[in-house]
A and B are shown apart, each in its own frame.
Chain A
């Protein structure tokens, strides 16, 4: 069995408790407008272009059979709509400005890398499965959780919760921490901004919380002008309390995904900086949330 991933990131401090190694799965059933890992949306390999490495030598233009690359007036541009991910240009690009994002590794190969940081995990650190949506490759998730358990590595998953119901129980039993994304409590907005309805996710959340609410931390995206108001936080609190969940974090929108959209050559309008929430408002909302859950 092979797992499609984009990267394995070590010394991560914000993806679960302690020092962690994060495995980013490639592929996600959602299409969140604010996604800051757009290279993880598609399960297939994709070309990534790094402008800071490009020396505009034009080797990619020569190598590409589909005319995806052009270099004009010292500027390189890339049309991803023509790209078949054949890899011809990556081989020709000496500065490695063009790389294929997405590779397949076996669970054992992944765990070998994760296990290297065992001396740093202590009691609270370990492996985090993220992405993308790890549960879009459930066999891979459960293989990694089992291998991690055997090696004494703590486990955590970041999930949007949009996966078949039958996986809820084994996930809750097999994983130490669940970071559950809450995209929106408003159903219409949820569908408009993510491409999927909220209801199946909420149902899974209810089932998961029935098993082990103490393992769950809600992670709530905050867009300025959309979520940054006390009434929305009150909705989050109500949801959490109804399910016995005591931990929640606010994730302020940041535009870090913009650069990746450009790197992928995607013609998609990024969400602008006007969606970045005000820091003092965010602090007040986090305070409201903490108070509401204690």
Chain B
């Protein structure tokens, strides 16, 4: 029986792919291939003589060679792309090699590698560059590092060779002509790539998949980057020359997405089992402002419309010349829920990056780090520092956690000034810490290999080898801080219902004995997210002050510091900062990213977007996210698609940065909690990623359910 994937749309998902491909998708999404990795979690290096005495880089090189030589090869029935990240420890963010049963190295994520360059040049070009560079190594350290990169190339060749050999054996023992043809095609497309430049779409796709799988095999979690830019020229040429039909291309591309699910286990994992930062960026404009979307752009959307694969979250760069039909397709895909397709406001981002100091021509190629944080992929060493803007207010200004502390301010401005001072001090500490970041010695030559300018500089990814080393300060908790300050302004300083010390005492008691006042604070004020200029101005002010402080130092000691705003689930951790002046009890889950406090946004999706866009995001170069959750009543039929398109257009016109829209029925989520097996493929948008709802733990599920659902 044909499997039906969940959707909140009444008409169901389209069926375009072959039954075999749909079956493969179902198996992957059911966790069949991910669970099988429990049989091969890691490789041991206990047998390597004097392993413990080797230098870290030598240990790493040995680990990579061991992986290439001995990692199990995996072939899934009827797959159209070869290669598999088949060692289970990689799912736990470590290089899957153990010494005395302990992982030896952590791995790298929040990075999108230079796969585009590898496809453009072929890996032999890397070998040439490396060979030449080794000859000019200035000292032993440089030489050792460059040889470690050469080891990566050798490892890839070994691993590739093993797959070729296995395929040749499979071909030889193939029983019937169809089987022979199948293996013959796999061989023909894998043999030359990724070492030579791909000649066809299938070869390019195989090359990309193989590189992606190898880097993951070695424990890393890279994003993909601009998939349609990388593959579009190959597909357009094949279509033009009639070497491939669109349906065949769709099948092949679908296999890329399905294979990308090979780490799904459907085991509960806090924030979900799909958070491997495999972000794809689509669309955008060229240097003349012309739209660059191509056949691959639309095929990706076709595939996600049919298969609920959220493991490759997709962000589309929307600009003034984005074709209406592309916007419509985005709207149609978003309707099926999961929040898998999100949008960037390209113009704002390009201007922000140029203003920050990036070369505008380089900035044109921006993608992200595998989540939504904007960066130049293949050239950037990135991480971010989480800063708690709500805890700052609660603990350092109001002293909610310290009863008996005398806290009073004569007026609102002096209260805000105190918050501003703490914020400035927090950012100053961040800048000091950032000065020494990025100079640690974690070996990660696999990542360095695919990152410019590690070869030229003969330095590793974490060792200032990347062209850009970025540590982005991310402030979270702004909406709750702003709403709390707004409530205090009203209750204490305007309506004079009670003094600030009296209010603080209420909060320290978790509002106990003051339920009427708590409800008053909750229900009488119109908070951030409802297009109330007064409340929104506070969120905008905190945002501006944060950015202003961060911008005092754009770059120092080789570390770039573009500001960002995010929570990524910290709104769950931070909920025990005590009761909030806006009416929350201690333990209530806070706002995510720069989205409204749950339950306070009552004026609809357009009002949320307007509130959000009153924050000036033009200098928030790393970015932030707005989360919109639509009730299925909003997304039915052609009208639903059009409504989503209008939200996107309004968001871009008003100066938003990045928006993710999910369509989900809360009653279905509650059902999924009771009967998880019936809803295994139900995906929900979290922050920069989507996750299968049943793999979230209870707290994360609660956070998603409590996220306000916009109706109409």
Contacts and interface: CB of A to CB of B under 8 A. Distances in A.
Interface string A146-186: 00000000000000000000000000000000000000000
Contact of A13 (B515, B516, B531, B634): B634
Interface stretch (A4-12, A226-234, A269-277): A4-12
A9 B607 CA distance: 10
A55 B634 contact: no
A119 B515 CA distance: 40
Interface in A1-59: 9-14, 17-19, 53, 55, 57, 59
B649 A95 contact: no
Given A55-B515, A94-B519, A119-B650, A124 B606 contact: no
Chain B interface SS verdict (over half): helix
A124 B642 contact: yes
A95 B523 contact: yes
A259 interface: no
Interface string A93-113: 011100000000000000000
B516 A125 contact: no
Of B520, B531, B650, most A-chain CB atoms within 10 Å: B650
A253 interface: no
Contact of B643 (A13, A55, A94, A116): A13
Interface in B503-533: 515-517, 519-520, 522-524, 531
Nearest to B533: A116
Interface string B600-616: 00011111011000000
B676 interface: no
A116 B646 contact: no
Given A9-B604, A10-B604, A18 B523 contact: no
B607 A53 contact: no
A71 to B, nearest CB: 13
B519 A117 contact: no
A116 B516 contact: no
Interface in B333-348: none
A116 B520 contact: no
A119 B604 contact: no
Given A18-B646, A117-B650, A122-B649, A11 B640 contact: no
A20 to B, nearest CB: 9
Interface in A106-140: 116-117, 119-122, 124-125
B604 to A, nearest CB: 3
A11 B520 contact: no
Given A13-B643, A117-B650, A55 B519 contact: yes
A95 B520 contact: yes
B710 interface: yes
Contacts of A94: 516-517, 519-520, 524
A23 B428 CA distance: 49
A7 B523 CA distance: 17
A122 B520 contact: no
Nearest to A15: B712
A14 B647 contact: no
Given A94-B520, A95-B520, A122-B649, A18 B642 contact: yes
B653 interface: yes
Given A94-B519, A95-B519, A95-B520, A125 B646 contact: yes
A59 B517 CA distance: 13
A245 B634 CA distance: 27
Contacts of B639: 13-14, 17-18
Interface string B648-676: 01100110000000000000000000000
A37 to B, nearest CB: 15
A120 B649 CA distance: 7
Nearest to A9: B604
Interface string A67-96: 000000000000000000000000000111
A256 to B, nearest CB: 12
A96 B607 contact: no
A10 to B, nearest CB: 4
Contacts of A116: 531, 606-607, 610
Contacts of A19: 606, 643, 646-647
Given A11-B605, A19-B646, A96-B524, A119 B654 contact: yes
A59 B516 contact: yes
A103 to B, nearest CB: 15
Contacts of B524: 94, 96
A117 B634 contact: no
Contacts of B516: 55, 57, 59, 94-95
A273 B101 CA distance: 65
A9 B515 CA distance: 29
A117 B530 CA distance: 12
Contacts of A95: 515-516, 519-520, 522-523
A116 B654 CA distance: 11
A18 B712 CA distance: 12
Interface string B668-698: 0000000000000000000000000000000
A11 B646 CA distance: 10
A53 B179 CA distance: 67
A14 B636 CA distance: 11
A176 to B, nearest CB: 17
A11 B519 contact: no
A251 to B, nearest CB: 14
Contacts of B610: 116-117
B347 to A, nearest CB: 14
A12 B634 CA distance: 9
A124 B639 CA distance: 11
B520 A10 contact: no
B338 to A, nearest CB: 21
Nearest to A99: B523
A94 B518 CA distance: 9
Contact of A120 (B522, B606, B640): B606
B646 A120 contact: yes
Contacts of B515: 55, 57, 95
B686 to A, nearest CB: 23
Nearest to B605: A11
Contacts of B522: 95
B481 to A, nearest CB: 24
Contact of A11 (B604, B645, B649, B653): B604
B440 to A, nearest CB: 46
A254 to B, nearest CB: 12
Nearest to B497: A94
Contacts of B653: 119
B642 A10 contact: no
B606 A10 contact: yes
A12 B517 CA distance: 33
Interface in B150-201: none
Contacts of A53: 519, 523
A116 B643 CA distance: 16
Nearest to B639: A13
A191 B428 CA distance: 74
Nearest to B712: A13
22 contacts: A10-B531, A10-B604, A10-B606, A11-B605, A11-B634, A13-B639, A13-B643, A13-B712, A14-B639, A18-B642, A18-B646, A53-B519, A57-B515, A94-B520, A94-B524, A95-B515, A96-B519, A96-B523, A116-B607, A122-B642, A124-B642, A125-B646
- Which are the 3 A-B pairs with shortest beta-carbon distances? A95-B519, A11-B604, A120-B650
Interface of A: 9-14, 17-19, 53, 55, 57, 59, 94-96, 116-117, 119-122, 124-125
Given A53-B519, A95-B519, 5 more contacts: A55-B516, A117-B606, A117-B610, A119-B649, A125-B646
